Chain A
Amino acid sequence: SQQGEEDPQALSIQEGENATMNCSYKTSINNLQWYRQNSGRGLVHLILIRSNEREKHSGRLRVTLDTSKKSSSLLITASRAADTASYFCATDPQRNDMRFGAGTRLTVKP
């Protein structure tokens, strides 16, 4: 079963705007990760946030984690056309595994 669920399923914005994607999960976790996938390719790791962290930044990316609500958000600031991709959150409900949500398809229009 899917552990994480991303919201929205699809998001379309103009270049320069911010994009926010959300992830909700069902069980306790050790950490939560965000990945990006360009069409037909493997996934690329973006950022990892541990269960005892609340916020993390990496370049134009900002991730928050609320373990009480079992949710996380990924913010991409000043988006570019090259950010067009699918974004997935991944959690480790069994501590040794890694399960993904269904993803958010982001389209950034030039």
Chain B
Amino acid sequence: DGGITQSPKYLFRKEGQNVTLSCEQNLNHDAMYWYRQDPGQGLRLIYYSQIVNDFQKGDIAEGYSVSREKKESFPLTVTSAQKNPTAFYLCASSIRAGEAFFGQGTRLTVV
């Protein structure tokens, strides 16, 4: 079945640690996106990529990094520079300017 998969579903991070969230899609989509969602809020764009080996910063990229070495994969690293990382993270993919498909999200908590 085609789809987009995020893992893990829950992730706990200690202060000062870097953690990486996985996002994989087998829909053959060129575009991939990462969003952050805080409780009761909308989605804020962290990074997006329209093609392999290329990505752009969104509105809240500070403290995050990404890579796009393969079309299928767009991992997000939450670095220790992100001072308030506790949130729900959503990954999506789409054809250009088309319908986006979302993963089920990763809930990150700082302990």
Of B14-22, B63-71, B78-86, B98-106, which binds chain A?
Answer: B98-106
- The answer to whether B58 and A97 have CB atoms under 8 Å apart is yes
Chain B interfacial residues counted at CB < 8 A? 28
Given A1, A33, A88, A96, which contacts B99 in the complex, CB threshold below 8 Å?
A33
A44 CA to B92 CA, complexed, in Å: 10
SS class, residues of chain B in contact with chain A: strand
- A2 sits at the interface (CB 8 A): yes
Chain A: which residue is nearest B104 at the CB level? A42
When the two chains form their complex, are residues A45 and B59 in contact, meaning their CB atoms are under 8 A apart?
Answer: no
The dominant DSSP class at the A interface is: loop
Confirm or deny: B28 has a beta carbon within 8 angstroms of a beta carbon on chain A. Answer: no
* Inter-chain contact B102/A97, CB cutoff 8 Å: no
A41 interface residue (CB < 8 Å to B) = yes
Contact among B41, B42, B50, B105 with A41 in the assembled complex (CB-CB below 8 Å): B105
Interface string of A1-29 (1 = CB under 8 A from B): 11000000000000000000000000000
Which bucket holds chain A's interface residue count? 20 to 34
Complexed CA–CA distance, A101 and B43 (Å) = 7
The 8 A CB mask of A30-69 against B (1 = contact, 0 = none) is: 1101010000111111001000000000000000000000
Measured CB to CB, the residues of A under 8 A from B are: 1-2, 30-31, 33, 35, 40-45, 48, 88, 90, 92, 95-103
Extra A-B contacts (14), CB below 8 Å, given A43-B100, A97-B56: A31-B97, A33-B100, A41-B104, A41-B105, A42-B92, A45-B99, A45-B101, A48-B99, A92-B97, A96-B48, A96-B56, A98-B94, A99-B58, A103-B41
